[in-house]
Structures are given as structure tokens and as C-alpha cells.
């Protein structure tokens, strides 16, 4: 319930790792997987997905690997989750494929849709950079802080 997919989790970790190593031209899936203990093959697929949606740039062959396609602060957590897990919906009434049977009679889907928007907003306001730049003692770059509107 309301739990993040591990794949998305892994995706975030990997992106953060890449963001922390801007010097290297490319890091292989195995590199990242080893760094954290993530199943390599699984991470591989996650990264492939991220590549296909344009968040990463890949390069096959020796010394190949992945690199961020854009600046770390231009990539939001929302994009990552969306890329890996597909459309973001809190409820089961996606109106896309397998909608909830009682969508017509349901009276809370509109308010919940707004909650959905709010949470999406939270995720959109978080960038990979925000995740990465944290460890560093607590210097000048001040912590990322934002306000999210909630309107029912």
C-alpha cells in the first residue's frame, strides 16, 4: 500500500550515484549494482528503461555504460518513477485500462485525484541533485526546501 517499487528505488539510487560521479564518462550497470548490492541484471533493465525514456544516455561496448542525459537538478524523482513504473496513480481508477468497477458510484475519486496531484507535485519538486548533494556536511547549498499546495 502506497509503497514505492524497488525498481524505482534502484533507479533513484543509480541516478544519484551517477550524479555523484560526474567525472567518469560512463558507468556500467554492474559497477553501480556492485556499489550497492543490487541484483545486476535487474538494475540493468531498470537503466535500459531509463535510457529509453531519455533520462540516461547509454553507450555499449567496452568502457561503455550509462551517464545522465541532463543535469542532475533537471531530473525529478517523479520522472524516474514515471519512467519505471508507468503512469502515477494513487487509486485504481486509472480510466486507462483496468478501471475500478465502481468508478461511477464512487464519490471520493475527485478528491483523491487532487491528493494524487499533490503527491505528484511533491515528487516533481525533488531532483536527483537534491538527493545527491545531501551528504556533504551541510554547506552553503542549503537544503532544498519547498512548499506544496494542497487544495481540495
Partner DNA sequence: AAATATCCGACTTCCCAGGTCCGATTTCAG
Partner DNA sequence: CTGAAATCGGACCTGGGAAGTCGGATATTT
Judged by the rule CB under 8 A, the positions of this chain that interact with a copy of itself are 1-6, 8-9, 12-13, 16, 35-38, 77, 81, 85, 88-92, 100-102, 105-108, 110-112, 115, 118-119, 122-123, 125-126, 130-131, 134-135, 143-152
Site membership for ligand SF4, residue 35 (CB under 6 A) = no
The 3-state DSSP class for residue 67 equals strand
In this complex, which beta carbon is closest to a copy of itself, that of residue 64 or of residue 74? 74
Q: Give CA separation, 87 vs 54, 74, 128, 151, in Å.
A: 16, 20, 19, 22
d(CA 53, CA 80): 9
d(CA 131, CA 62): 29
Site membership for ligand SF4, residue 7 (CB under 6 A) = no
Nearest distance from C-beta of residue 48 to a copy of itself, angstroms: 18
Site membership for DNA, residue 51 (CB under 7 A) = yes
Q: Give CA separation, 29 vs 39, 42, 77, 95, in Å.
A: 10, 9, 20, 35
**Binding footprint of ligand SF4 on the chain (CB under 6 A):** 9, 91-93, 100, 102-103, 106, 108-109, 112
Amino acid at each position: 500500500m502506497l509503497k514505492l517499487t524497488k525498481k524505482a528505488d534502484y533507479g533513484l539510487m543509480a541516478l544519484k550515484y551517477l550524479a555523484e560521479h560526474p567525472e567518469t564518462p560512463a558507468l556500467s550497470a554492474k559497477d553501480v549494482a556492485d556499489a550497492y548490492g543490487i541484483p545486476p541484471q535487474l538494475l540493468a533493465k531498470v537503466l535500459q528503461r531509463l535510457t529509453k525514456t531519455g533520462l540516461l544516455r547509454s553507450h555499449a561496448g567496452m568502457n561503455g555504460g550509462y551517464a545522465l542525459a541532463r543535469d542532475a537538478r533537471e531530473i525529478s524523482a517523479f520522472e524516474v518513477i514515471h519512467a519505471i513504473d508507468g503512469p502515477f496513480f494513487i487509486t485504481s481508477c486509472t480510466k486507462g485500462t483496468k478501471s475500478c468497477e465502481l468508478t461511477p458510484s464512487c464519490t471520493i475519486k475527485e478528491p483523491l485525484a487532487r491528493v494524487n496531484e499533490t503527491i505528484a507535485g511533491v515528487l516533481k519538486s525533488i531532483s536527483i541533485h537534491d538527493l545527491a548533494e545531501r551528504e556533504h556536511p551541510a554547506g552553503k547549498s542549503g537544503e532544498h526546501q519547498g512548499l506544496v499546495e494542497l487544495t481540495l
